[in-house]
Structure 1
Amino acid sequence: MPRRPAVPTLTTLCLQNLAQHMQSLWAKDYSDNYLDEYEFRFLVGPFNDLACGLVQELLQLLGRSRRLSRAALHLLLLPHLQQLSLQPCPTLANNALGHLIVLRCQGLSVLELSGCGRLSPAVLVDLAEGLPRLIRLGLAHTQTNIQVLSAVGSCCRRLRELDVSGCKKVTPRALRHLGYDPVERRPGCPALRVLLARELEGDAVTAVAFLLLALPRLEVLAHGAVPDALRLLRSGRLGGTEDSEGFPSLEELARSRGDSAEETPLMLALRQLEEVEEDALSTVHAVCPQAEELSVWLGDSPNPSGLRELSGWKCLSRLTLGCSGRHSRALAELLPLAQGLGSRLRVLTLHSFICQDPLSLPALLTSCPSLQSFSAELEVPPDPHEEPPEEEPPRWATDLLPQRLPRLQSFSLSLTSPVPATHRPVLSSTLASLLCQAPRLQILRLLAVPFPLDSVLEPALAGLQELQELVLAQSRVSPGTVWQLLGSDGPLRRLDLSRCPDIHRRDYDGFLQAVRKQRLELDITWE
């Protein structure tokens, strides 16, 4: 059955006790006497003697339990703190708190401020200038502007990861300050490897191309203009990008790298690429041959050369494919690609494909024996010769997958249309085979499956010893199978039965009563 809560460690009990008395004792004294005296630096308490990791754990515990007050946060801004996240409490992050962080926590290597919109640009500049050891900085959905990016590019020399997604004051031209300091005339953020810049407005093709050339260690640049910027760089037509603000042109950057269209073909170190259109695959492959993770949108007309291009990536291990045209593509079209990638593929995610031939799904899984995660959103076309469904057999065949999937930890299947009766036996047998062939499965999501899943799930429950999350939203499963699941052995922590047509309120109440009575560590969702 799902496990009972583990006996907490002595460390956990001590932190819980400290969190329980934080507000009533130390935070109260600080609030009454010192909270608005910003020259006051520290208050002595047991938290001062905690190691860095324990202070961070205490902050997380207070945040999860919604007990992190302004006073408690002030008290835990200790000099030896190395990681600080204000995401759980963005309303507490004001300008005064920002100044305290600069004063007290100059050893920070990780600072997460995403969503902290009350911090002014001036304070964000002070943080960038006053925390020289930062390795990761999260500024998504803040008031970050060109001055903040200039400070980050000039002062955060160790920075490896930066998130400025959704910052409305960040213009494409402002992004260039991350790659070059026009005042000091030197490269900016020389160690930057990951830059997340999603949901930014404006035509950013030239600015993104500038970053790709100016940041030689960049492995991830999440921005919608990346494919077009790669086209520009691949074309070699970099003239006309001179700038009066002190930034080098694209031609100058390319020469400084030793890359030119006539001599050495441009190659970048990008490992992850998002939102690539099918017709841009050849360009992206030529410029980023070492890519490991790729997200591709396929158009209406089948393009075998585009899918063949994917097979040529030697390092590709994580692939997301979606259909962006009016008509979805057939799942069977991916079989040659899956066979070409073979055992290299670790993660495969599919959106809006049509499963015309039900055997294409088991064939696809069989071609990828090293998968760790598989997710598919499939549409099954109606059968014009549909006949009434036959009676469901007590057990489905489990030999549709001839080999095991020993590494598979997450499997998700969502059906976006009714499934004709002719497809149900094959899909049921595929799921039954999968559950028997994937002993390390931890997450299983079967969404909107319109045929009964009892005979698929029941035989496999004993073998799923590592299953932690089971989502059956909008699927057909009976209360008896859920009861069997509650009585099985395993570490199940989450069970989602939302909008399951065969589960009623009285069933849900019975499940909750059993969980409470047996003190199981299991969260059940139903509506």
Structure 2
Amino acid sequence: MMSQSSDVVSLTSLCLQNIAENMQSVWMTDYTDKYMEDYNFMYIEGPFNQLAGTLVQELIRILGDSHKLTKAGLHLLLQPHLTELSLRSCAGLVNKAMAQLVTLRCKFLTSLDLHSCNRVPAASLVSLVERLPRLLTLCLSDTQSDALVLAAIGTFCQRLRELDVSRCRKISPPALLSLVYNVRSGQFCCQALRVLLLQDVKPQGSPEQWVFALCFALLALPRLEQLTNPSLADAMRLIYVSNLTPSGFPPENFPSLAEVARTRAGREDTSKGQAAIQSSAPTVHEHNPRTVRVEDARTVAHHTALRLKKLEDLDEADVSIFGSLCQGLEEVAISLGNQNEHLWSLVQWPNLTHLILHCPEHPRRSLEEILSSIHPVSKSLRLLSLQNLLWCHEDSLSTLLTWCPNLRSFESHFTVLCHNVSHNAPELLPWPGDPLPLPLLHTFSLLLEGEDLLQSIFQHKLGGLLVSLLRGCPNLKSLSLCGIPTLLDGVFEVVYGSKQSQPLQGLREVSLCSSNITQWGVSLILRAKNDLRTLDLSHCKDVTCRDYHRLQERARKDKRNVSITWQ
């Protein structure tokens, strides 16, 4: 059961919605009758060439999402003044002819998104990118992109910073090499590329060839900050162990991995005003790259520093290896295994702002054993996510949050497993009144499971932690407390009854799924001064159907624009 409500819509959005509703009957009828068969012209005089490019793009999205966009409508909206164009919401309409129309009209694009536009043949994609040299971002995921398309991107899109070719089944390891090296000119390409997304492209080529190709890309792209592919870790290990002379790689006319590393090292030293590592090393044109000695390959590999700033799903066994290669890392997700000894640290990444730690299977690693690893980077963290871990001591979470004063987002999923069970429970002291200062925090999520949730000591200390937390985060916008055993009525009574003036005024979203709360505690949230829009009370066993209707009625009486979910 849910009460329906919506946010206040801007005047601009209302106008665009009105245009979308009348697109077929007003704007497309004349065009379809008179010009649909001859649409390859440069300009269309009409209302849409007067709209700002951002509004035209938003109109395309609205029409696409509502399935009201037709070929005629898309013809009208492909305006020459567009600099950003996303056709993912209407991918089914995009074919060879539509791609040609984009080529003719939208010559000033800096951003193009053709996600799932798989009706466009590779030859048309080649023609398209050849005529869009201003592109900074390009998404071709789930298209017919192949080696010729990537070679065209490398040759003609030298300003490109972000490229997504995920789920492109025709891409092979040699195709990736064509993106970053032009065999005709003997020059490296796409040197400005910072983001390269290559998910789900593995069927073409052997796993070893993909590892070598990714290694080639890592060394050839000096500004690369993010590369996504399941073989990335293996490619980085190859660089770490300095194995840059694999047999059977690269294909004919491409420089070897060792030569790419030598060229990169020489350029980096030159940019710093230093002598090249191998001052007498020939260029890629002066000798056969396959003749590079193993000792030289190891030397240049040890001088290679990757500029990656984001790594996804890194195994904890590789933390120390990748730390030496990518010291400027800012975002990392680490998969925790079942090892008994904790041997890694994050101290090598002083700029880390986003950290995700998770157990992919049953939780076997505890919050307590990773605290020492997080501590060196705790003050720089903006996002911290701890998923599927054990929580064994009541004070561990409060200790961790105290270390992270600059957090903006905290997400967690714990299985509670307390070891200090006592038959003689100590006296439960009053909750501390001091707030836990997290002035920047806007998202807090805590999901709990486990049989030890019922311990009185744990419940009491958890309540105190939540009181201190909610008192110390004045800018909180999203609060999710799922499976909390502590009676939250008392928590919100203390928070809203404190001397602090108007706490949690920015609160917009609250989820209390499966938590211990009654109508009284929920009413405290509804009566408070905030900007609440959604309130989720699913599976709260102490909130009845009658309570739900009373809460809805209170929201209506107070003219609160809030959607309440209950079941």
Calculate the TM-score normalised by the size of structure 2: 0.83
Q: Alpha-carbon deviation of 1:442?
A: 1.4
2:191 corresponds to 1:151: no
User: What amino acid is aligned across from residue 240 of structure 2 in structure 1?
Assistant: R
CA contact under 8 A between 1:266 and 1:287: conserved in structure 2? yes
Q: Which residue pairs with 1:261 in the alignment?
A: 298
Report the equivalent of 2:282. none
Given that 2:393 and 2:418 are in contact with CA atoms closer than 8 Å, whether structure 1 keeps it comes out as: no
CA apart distance, 1:332: 1.1
Give how far 1:517 is off: 7.2
1:442 aligns with 2:482: no
Q: Give 3-state SS (helix, strand or coil) of 1:126's partner.
A: helix
| Counterpart residue number, 2:368 | 332
Change (3 A) 1:116 1:495: farther
Show CA shifts across 1:18-39 (max 9, x none).
3343222112222333334333
One-letter identity of the residue aligned with 1:413: L
Deviations 1:140-193 (A, max 9, x none): 222322232222222221111111222233233322222112233221212110
SS at match of 1:74: helix
Counterpart contact for 2:512–2:537, Cα < 8 Å: yes
**1:479 pairs with 2:529:** no
How many aligned positions are there? 519
Task: Please state whether the residue corresponding to 1:236 is helix, strand or coil.
Answer: coil
SS at match of 2:447: strand
| 1:379 shift after superposition | 0.6
* Aligned position for 1:296: 334
Equivalent pair of 1:196/1:221 in contact (CA under 8 Å):
yes
Highest CA radius of gyration, 1 or 2? 2
SS at match of 1:449: coil
Q: More displaced, 409-418 or 52-61?
A: 52-61
> 1: CA distance between counterparts of 2:361 and 2:16?
54
Aligned in 2, Cα 1:257/1:486: closer, same or farther, shift over 3 Å? Answer: same
Q: Which structure 1 residue ranges, 4+ long, deviate > 6 Å from structure 2?
A: 386-390, 516-519
Q: Which residue of the partner structure matches residue 220 of structure 2? A: 214
C-alpha distance after superposition, 1:5-30 (max 9, x if no partner): 54734x44544443343222112222
Residue in 1 that maps onto 2:164? 163
What is the distance in 2 between the residues matched to 1:503 and 1:389? 30
Change (3 A) 1:227 1:17: same
State the AA in 2 paired with 1:151: A
Amino acid at match of 1:494: T
Is 1:168–1:200's contact at 8 Å kept on the other side of the alignment? Answer: yes
Alignment pair present for 1:425 and 2:463: no
CA distance in 1, matches of 2:546, 2:37: 53
Map 1:321-360 onto structure 2 (within 5 A).
321-324=357-360, 328-360=364-396
Correspondence for 1:495: 535
- Rounded to whole Å, the distance in 2 between the matches of 1:120 and 1:479 is 59
Please give the alpha-carbon distance, in whole angstroms, between the structure 2 residues aligned to 1:485 and 1:411.
Answer: 16
Instruction: Give the whole-Å Cα distance in 1 for the aligned partners of 2:384 and 2:517.
Output: 27
> Which one-letter code corresponds to 2:333 in the other structure?
S
| Cα deviation, residue 398, structure 1 | 4.4
Q: Counterparts of 1:442 and 1:296 in 2: how far apart (Å)?
A: 27
CA contact (8 A) 1:175 1:207 kept: yes
- The Cα offsets for residues 256-303 of structure 1, whole Å up to 9 and x where unpaired, read as 112753265211111111221122112101111111111112222244
Shift of 1:466: 1.2
Instruction: Check 1:4–1:97 CA distance in 2 against 1; reply closer, same or farther (3 A cut).
Output: closer
Residue 251 in structure 1 maps to residue 258 in structure 2 = yes
Query: Take 1:523 and 1:63, find their aligned partners in 2: how far apart are those partners?
Result: 27
Partners of 1:438 and 1:232 in 2: CA distance: 45
Amino acid at match of 1:415: L
RMSD of equivalent CA atoms: 3.0
1:437 partner letter:
G
* Structure 2 portions without partners, runs of 5+: 267-296, 497-501
Q: Distance in 2 between matches of 1:144 and 1:511?
A: 54
Alignment of 1:43-192 (within 5 A): 43-63=44-64, 65-192=66-193
Tell me the alpha carbon deviations over residues 397-429 of structure 1, each in whole angstroms, 9 at most, x when there is no partner: 244x76411111111111133413242111222
Q: Once the two structures are aligned, what percentage of the paired residues are identical?
A: 40
Deviation at 1:245, TM superposition (A): 3.6
Contact kept, 8 Å, 2:347 with 2:376, in 1: the verdict is: yes
- Indicate the SS of the match to 1:312: coil
What letter matches 1:371 in structure 2? L
Of residues 335-344 and 57-66 in structure 1, the stretch that sits farther from structure 2 once superposed is 57-66
Say which is worse superposed, 18-27 or 513-522, in terms of deviation: 513-522
Q: Which has the higher contact order (CA 8 A, sep 6+)?
A: 1
Cα shift at 1:365: 0.6
Of 284, 287, 309 in structure 2, the residue corresponding to residue 271 of structure 1 is 309
**Residue type at the aligned position of 2:194:** R
Confirm or deny: 8 A CA contact 2:355 2:384 kept in the other structure: yes
